[in-house]
Structure 1
């Protein structure tokens, strides 16, 4: 007989975390290491939201399904944790498998290796743990699983939090979740429930409202925000400005191959050139480098560079000394010149030339190569 979801969780608790058995003193050390890891890697609460969007992008979806990600903020205490507000995250992915569950009950293990050929953004194996920045007790309901985790150890035999699953018998129930989502629609396959810490309600609301609209440019999944369970819907990631998007593929050279991208045959580079309303934002939201999600690197270029970059553990920056990333950056000038030639037919393309120096030496090399190539094309030597 196949193992049920609850039996699977019971087995993980018993065999992996010795719950019901002898105390393992190493669990206390692991708990402290996990606590330090989350605090160091995710220095800003916005990371939890980026991780959730990232997970939705990396998830697998049934054929013919339009990927979507929905956030609902409610002030109803459906978890009975006395939380002042609760954030519910709905995703219509295929749902959690046994391997997904075992991964989330671990550190450094990822089930996303199969996404290599198309490139992906989730590779650290610690992303979901970032939700502990804003909640003490996250819940997951998916494919028959209904579990929660706690940042504080809850069992005498296992002095470990964060990755030890607990089966949820009640609070919340599926009826509670359906009521919040609305009885008029079937629940998406996966629901994540985050009862917020009291000092995180305001920051979470602000972060939901202030997510870069540019994130939409590079994501498969749609996202929306509902608040207070009143079903007053507002777009979370609606693009308020406009971009000219240039996408181009380049073959990966042998000297740029790395183990983590060994199966990828092509770099896919996207350059996004703002126009219209987006230009009015000016320096309040400067273009930068994206690895499907925004990094914190400001290039001083008047356009966005998107690629399957390898990131630092914090995901706040790309690794400029990584040979894979260097291969992507060397292709940017060629992509720019091709885009520039096309843009000249539509707009004042010269406004997109990177005339300002970057704070990064490697990006200045990209800038200089762009200027040299545009000049060599002889499109407008008097303007350079």
Structure 2
């Protein structure tokens, strides 16, 4: 239970709010000489807030990821939009956000009633993903009066200056009704108790459509790189579901098991499921997740990340078709998705520095460059590890793994540099499987491997069936690519790896040194 001892003798949430209003904002108390400074700071906050093209939904998810959760709880975030005007503010639509976090403590309330005072500042190492210092106040982009119901607190804020102290945004006001808990409960719709924290946002008229649009296009992969939130849902509170104007979705993630772990790297399987309608089976996808640490080089240090000594890069390799909702599948994440489509068949996640809109990473930023410089090494490690996990599987299971190579050119030049570096590293690695003549799988550098024409593979297959030994197949200057890989289906991959057809001299040498003609 939250303690109120710090709030100058306040013993209940309501007394804490009354104390804040009196001591900090001079409401019903002696004038505070700092109130004018506060007023100016809030004006500056307002200018900063509305100058940014902030993706409000990502800000709310980010805030929930940064929250603390009780032991044994599966962290969840639920968005419900309703046309009921439960706040009696005349709102045509209201967004409710339900979060089963620990709930607001007095220090969180003190922070939210301040400008530039975050309880998460300087805590990058502890896993906080927030960046811009706006935090909860980003809700003012879509509402003029946000409400918070949490741990006994029932408060609202207003972007309009308070008539008692002439300060907006940060002055808390106690709420006795409109909404009341029974209204909130009926919209939540579950027989279970309400989650600890409910945020209620009566929407500004011009924000209703953009909010519904963002909710309807929420990508199923939004949970991929969040360490806390495991379930996220969007729905509309509507008596007639056929009249819904928001696409519902319920997304959940589950990490299966660690496959490998050492001092710098670990891998696991993550399963994502998304259900857009109770009557549909929904989509599912499993991802091979590779996490690797790299030291931060001095030349890549920046003020925003000065305390960070290690980069953690995560690559997600989708083992099935990626779930898609909307027109694109993001290729770069900074914990949450950007809008960057990379054309790579894997996803890159790291603590990138973003443009304020969250749509892209800052490609010319030296911190981000340091991350991108490490991606090729991370990919080589991830790919090599994945290929080795199939060592006990049949040879035919190997070629599909090569679909993760970045064969296609990216629209971003900086990422093409990453692609070129991956290619340069790959062609020096023993990764191409040669045609086996024993149970053992053998791998060689792509430049040392060779392809055969389909007609010759047909001859070899017939010879093998008749008992002809092909043990000297790779004895003539080239390691012959395994037959299940040497297919037109993999032409793009093999061209990327510069695996070429053997020359006429190879055929002459092989036929001359084998009993192929006699055998066939």
Fold-level similarity (TM above 0.5): yes
Structure 1 residues 29-48: aligned runs within 5 Å: 29-43=40-54, 47-48=55-56
Secondary structure of 1:348's match? Answer: helix
Aligned to 1:100: 108
Q: CA RMSD in A?
A: 3.0
Structure 1 residues 1-384: aligned runs within 5 Å: 2-3=9-10, 4-20=12-28, 21=31, 24-26=35-37, 29-43=40-54, 47-113=55-121, 115-158=123-166, 160-182=167-189, 184-219=191-226, 220-221=228-229, 222-228=231-237, 234-237=248-251, 238-239=273-274, 240=283, 242-253=285-296, 255=298, 256=300, 261=305, 264=308, 266-274=310-318, 276-278=320-322, 284-344=327-387, 345=397, 348-378=400-430, 379=432, 380-381=446-447, 382-384=494-496
Q: Work out the CA distance in 2 between the residues paired with 1:147 and 1:279.
A: 39
Any stretches of 5+ residues in structure 1 without a counterpart? none
Secondary structure of 1:383's match? Answer: helix
CA drift of 1:185 comes to 0.9
Any stretches of 5+ residues in structure 2 without a counterpart? 242-246, 252-272, 275-282, 388-396, 433-445, 448-493, 497-520
Secondary structure of 2:322's match? Answer: helix
Aligned residues: 379
Rg larger in structure: 2
Question: Is the Cα–Cα contact under 8 Å of residues 269 and 332 in structure 1 kept in the other structure?
Answer: yes
Q: Work out the CA distance in 2 between the residues paired with 1:248 and 1:28.
A: 45
Q: Taking structure 1 as reference, are residues 211 and 275 closer, same or farther at Cα in structure 2, changes over 3 Å only?
A: same
Q: Work out the CA distance in 2 between the residues paired with 1:155 and 1:11.
A: 18
Question: Normalised by the size of structure 2, how large is the TM-score?
Answer: 0.65
Secondary structure of 1:121's match? Answer: coil
Compare 268-277 and 149-158 and name the one that shifted more.
268-277
Higher relative helix content:
1
Encode CA deviations 1:168-200: one digit per residue, 9 max, x unaligned: 121112222223224621111110001112233
Question: Is the Cα–Cα contact under 8 Å of residues 48 and 128 in structure 1 kept in the other structure?
Answer: no
Question: Is the Cα–Cα contact under 8 Å of residues 292 and 312 in structure 2 kept in the other structure?
Answer: yes
Question: Normalised by the size of structure 1, how large is the TM-score?
Answer: 0.86
